[in-house]
Structure 1
Amino acid sequence: MRFIRLIFVALLALVLVGVALANRGAVTLSAFPANFGQFLGGTWSVTLPLFLVIFVAFALGMLAGLVWEWLREAHIRREAKLRGAEVARLEGEVGHLRVRHAAPRDEVLAILDEPASAPRPGVNRASLPVAR
């Protein structure tokens, strides 16, 4: 699995280097439409290589998707936390009940749990069928 991951990372690096070499031209990135930035004071534009604009846009899109999914699944994480606390409480209660009710045993269960070699009071061993 580590080898496959290494091959994937190497291929991804080759593709990214290829995109960067193919898109080295400078582009002007403006924050506002034409001449609108003058009203706010400043140029509000920057000149960057195209591959850098592509990579930053991709990274910002990934970050936006990550935040979106994290917020969307918040109710699922909250519900899982509540269910986990309830499971822990119920497991503790079951453990407490097992300890509390272990002493007074049912007579039928005590007979079933008793080893076969121990003689039972009031039972004639000679009259019992023999299992072969």
Structure 2
Amino acid sequence: MRYIRYASIAIFAVALVLVALANRAMVEVRLVPDELSGLAALNPSHEVPLFVVIFAGVAAGLVVGFIWEWIREYGERAAAARQMRELRALRAEVKRLKGETHEGKDEVLALLDKAG
């Protein structure tokens, strides 16, 4: 199973390297559109390889997706925490009730009942 994981990682790494090699052309990335550059009083632009733009877009999409999923799962996490609190309370109550059941009995018999 470990070898399958390593093979998958290697295939993914080779694919990323091939995409990077195929998209080495320099492109100009502007932060503000030309139409709005007069209003912003500056228009920063940078020359970067195309694969950097592609990988940055994929990374930004992953981050947005992870945050979206984390927010979406809030209800499930809250329900799980509520169930865990209820489970702890019920276990404490069972322990208390078992203690009341064995009150006034022989200690050996109470231990045997507790083990069973």
1:53 matched to which residue of 2? 53
Deviations 1:77-97 (A, max 9, x none): 111111101101101101110
Q: Aligned runs of 1:118-129 on 2, under 5 Å? A: none
Larger Rg: 1
**Amino acid aligned to 1:96:** R
Native 8 Å contact 1:37 1:44 kept in 2: no
Shift of 1:29: 1.6
Same amino acid, percent of matched pairs: 36
Instruction: Name the structure where helix makes up a greater proportion of residues.
Output: 2
TM-score, with normalisation over the residues of structure 1? Answer: 0.73
1:10 matched to which residue of 2? 10
Q: Aligned runs of 1:6-85 on 2, under 5 Å? A: 6-85=6-85
Q: In the comparison of the two structures, how many residue pairs are matched?
A: 106
Deviations 1:6-33 (A, max 9, x none): 1011001100000000000011122232
**Amino acid aligned to 1:2:** R
**Amino acid aligned to 1:66:** F
> In 1, Cα distance between the equivalents of 2:56 and 2:25?
16
Moved more, 41-50 or 57-66: 41-50
1:116 matched to which residue of 2? none
Over the aligned positions, Cα root-mean-square deviation in angstroms equals 1.8
> In 1, Cα distance between the equivalents of 2:42 and 2:34?
12
Long gaps (5+) in structure 1:
106-132
Long gaps (5+) in structure 2:
106-116
Shift of 1:102: 2.8
